[in-house]
Structure 1
Amino acid sequence: MLDTTKIATCPVHAPADHPPVPAAKTGILLANLGTPDNYDYWSMRRYLSEFLSDRRVIDYSPWKWQPLLQLIILSKRPFTSGAAYKSIWNEEQGESPLMTITRDQTAAIAAKLHGDLGDGIMVDFCMRYGNPSTKSKVREMTEAGCTRILFFPLYPHYAGATSGTANDQFFRALMEETRQPAARTVEPYFENELYIEALAKSVEEAYAAAEEEPEMLVVSYHGMPKRYLMQGDPYHCQCQKTTRLLREKLGWSEDRITTTFQSVFGPEEWLKPYTVEEVARLAEEDGKKRIAVIAPAFSADCIETLEEINEEIKEAFEEAGGEHFTYIPCLNDNDAHVQALGEIIKSNLKGWVR
Structure 2
Amino acid sequence: MNPTQQLHNLGQSIWLDNITRELLTSGTLARYIRDLHVTGLTSNPTIFEHAIGHSTAYDAAILSQLGKGKSDVSLFFELALEDLSRAADLFRSTFDASAGVDGWVSLEVSPLLAHDAANTIKEAAELHARANRSNLFIKIPGTTEGLEAIEASIFAGVPVNVTLLFSCEQYLAAAEAYLRGIERRIEAGLDPNVGSVASLFISRWDVAVKDTVSPQSRNRLGIAVAMQTYQAYCALLASPRWQKLAAAGASAQRVLWASTGTKDPQASDTVYVEALAAPRTVNTIPEKTLLAFADHGQVKKKLPTNGGDADAVLADFSRQGIAIDVLAERLQREGAEAFVASWRQLLQAIGTKKSHLAQVCTS
TM-score of the pair, normalised by structure 1? 0.28
**Higher helix residue share:** 2
Larger Rg: 1
**Higher strand residue share:** 1
TM-score of the pair, normalised by structure 2? 0.28
